[in-house]
Chain A
Amino acid sequence: MKVGIVGYGAYIPRYRIRVEDVARVWGHDAESIKSGLGILEKSVPSLDEDTATLAVEAARNALKRAKDVKPSEIGAVYVGSESHPYAVKPTAATVAEALGIVPNTTAADLEFACKAATAGIQACMGLVKGGYIKYGMSVGADTAQSAPGDALEYTASAGAAAYIIGGENLVAEIEDTFSYTQDVPDFWRREGAPYPRHGGRFTGEPAYFEHVIKASKGLMEKLGTNVSDYRYAVFHMPNGKFPLRAAKILGFTTEQVQPSLVVEKIGNTYSGSSLLGLAAVLDIAKAGERILLTSYGSGAGSDSFSIRVTDLIEERRNLAPSVRYYIERKEYIDYALYARSKCLYRG
Chain B
Amino acid sequence: MSHIAPPAHWRRAKERYRLLGSKCESCGSTFFPPTKVCPKCRRKGKIVQTEFSGKGKIYSYTIIHSAPKMFEKYTPYILALVELEEGPKVMSQIVDCKPEEVKIGLNVEVCFRKLFEQDEEGVISYGFKFRPADDSWKGL
B-contacting residues of A (Cβ < 8 Å)? 14, 46-50, 52-53, 56-57, 60, 85-86, 94, 97-100, 318, 320-322, 324-325, 328-329, 344, 347
Identify which of A100, A328, A344 contacts B73 (C-beta below 8 A).
Answer: A344
Given contacts A49-B114, A94-B126, contact A325 B136 (CB under 8 A): yes
Q: What DSSP secondary structure best describes chain B's contact surface?
A: mixed
Q: State the CA gap A227–B140 with chains docked (Å).
A: 29
Q: State the CA gap A99–B13 with chains docked (Å).
A: 12
Q: State the CA gap A3–B63 with chains docked (Å).
A: 50
Apart from A48-B114, A321-B137, 17 more pairs, CB < 8 Å:
A46-B113, A47-B73, A48-B74, A50-B114, A53-B126, A57-B111, A57-B112, A85-B124, A94-B126, A97-B13, A97-B14, A98-B17, A98-B18, A321-B140, A322-B137, A325-B136, A329-B134
Please give the distance in Å from A27's CB to the nearest CB on chain B. Answer: 29
Which residues of chain A are near B140, meaning CB under 8 Å? 321-322, 324-325, 328
| A48 x B113 contact (CB < 8 A) | yes
Please give the distance in Å from B2's CB to the nearest CB on chain A. Answer: 18
Which residues of chain A are near B93, meaning CB under 8 Å? 48
Q: Which of B78-112 contact A (CB under 8 A)?
A: 93, 95-96, 111-112
Please report the number of residue pairs spanning A and B whose Cβ atoms sit closer than 8 angstroms.
59
Which residues of chain A are near B129, meaning CB under 8 Å? 48
Query: Does residue B138 face the partner (Cβ distance < 8 Å to A)?
Result: yes
| B138 x A318 contact (CB < 8 A) | yes
Which residues of chain B are near A328, meaning CB under 8 Å? 140
Question: How many of chain B's residues touch chain A, expressed as a range?
Answer: 20 to 34
Identify which of A53, A85, A318 contacts B113 (C-beta below 8 A).
Answer: A53
Query: Does residue B51 face the partner (Cβ distance < 8 Å to A)?
Result: yes
Q: State the CA gap A99–B19 with chains docked (Å).
A: 11
Q: Which 5 A-B pairs have the closest CB atoms?
A: A347-B120, A321-B137, A325-B137, A56-B112, A48-B113
Q: State the CA gap A56–B134 with chains docked (Å).
A: 18
Which residues of chain B are near A14, meaning CB under 8 Å? 96
Q: State the CA gap A272–B73 with chains docked (Å).
A: 27
| A47 x B134 contact (CB < 8 A) | no
| B112 x A53 contact (CB < 8 A) | yes
Please give the distance in Å from A111's CB to the nearest CB on chain B. Answer: 19
Who on chain B is nearest to A347 by CB? B120
| B74 x A47 contact (CB < 8 A) | yes
Q: State the CA gap A100–B112 with chains docked (Å).
A: 14
Identify which of B51, B114, B134, B137 contacts A53 (C-beta below 8 A).
Answer: B114
Please give the distance in Å from A256's CB to the nearest CB on chain B. Answer: 23
Given contacts A14-B96, A48-B74, A48-B95, contact A100 B18 (CB under 8 A): yes
Who on chain B is nearest to A328 by CB? B140
Please give the distance in Å from A5's CB to the nearest CB on chain B. Answer: 20
Who on chain A is nearest to B18 by CB? A100
Q: State the CA gap A97–B128 with chains docked (Å).
A: 13
Please give the distance in Å from B32's CB to the nearest CB on chain A. Answer: 16
Q: State the CA gap A50–B125 with chains docked (Å).
A: 12
